[in-house]
Amino acid sequence: MQKKLHEAAKHAYGRAYAPYSKFKVGAAILADDGKVYAGGNVENAAYPNGVCAETSAISAMVLGGAKKIRAIAVVAGGPKLVTPCGGCRQRIAEFADPETPVHICGPEGLKTTFTIAELLPASFDKENLGRNLGRNRGAKAGLNPQRPRSRTAR
C-alpha cells in the first residue's frame, strides 16, 4: 500500500500548480474507506491564497465521504526532507490517530516515516474545545479553569 500511496502522491506532485515558487508538492491519503485520495499544492499570485498538497488531499477525502486518515505520503523534490507545514500537521491530526504514519518521499521513493504525533506532539484538538463543559459550569471553551488566566483571556 505504501507504494500505491507514493505513486498517487508522485502523480499529484507532477500536476501541482506552482508557477511562482516552482516548489511542487503532492500528497496522497489512505482513508478509512480503503480508497486513496490525492492532492497537489495550488499557488496563487496573491500568495496567502494558495493551498498545500496535504490540505488538497484532505479536502478530496472529505468530499469522497471518508472520515479518517490511515496513512499519508508527501512527495517533494530536493535533497532535504520536506515535511508538512504546521497548518497541515494540524489538519492531518484532525483526521488521524496519533500513530498514523506520515511517509516523507521524494519522486524516487520513501525517505523516512514519522507518526503525526512525532510531527505535532502537542496538537490542539477537540479536547481543547471543552467537551466536558458540564463539569465546570460557566467555563469558557478551551480554557482550563484550574489555571490562572491572563488579563486578555478574561
Q: Which positions are annotated as active-site residues?
A: 54
Q: How far apart are CA 76 and CA 1, in angstroms?
A: 19
Q: How far apart are CA 82 and CA 125, in angstroms?
A: 24
Residue type, position 143, single letter: L
Looking up cell 478509512 gives 32
> What DSSP state is assigned to residue 83?
P
Instruction: HSE, CB side, 13 Å, CA atoms: give it for residue 133.
Output: 11
Element (H, E) at 95: helix 86-95
Other C-beta atoms lying within 10 Å of the C-beta of residue 29: 30
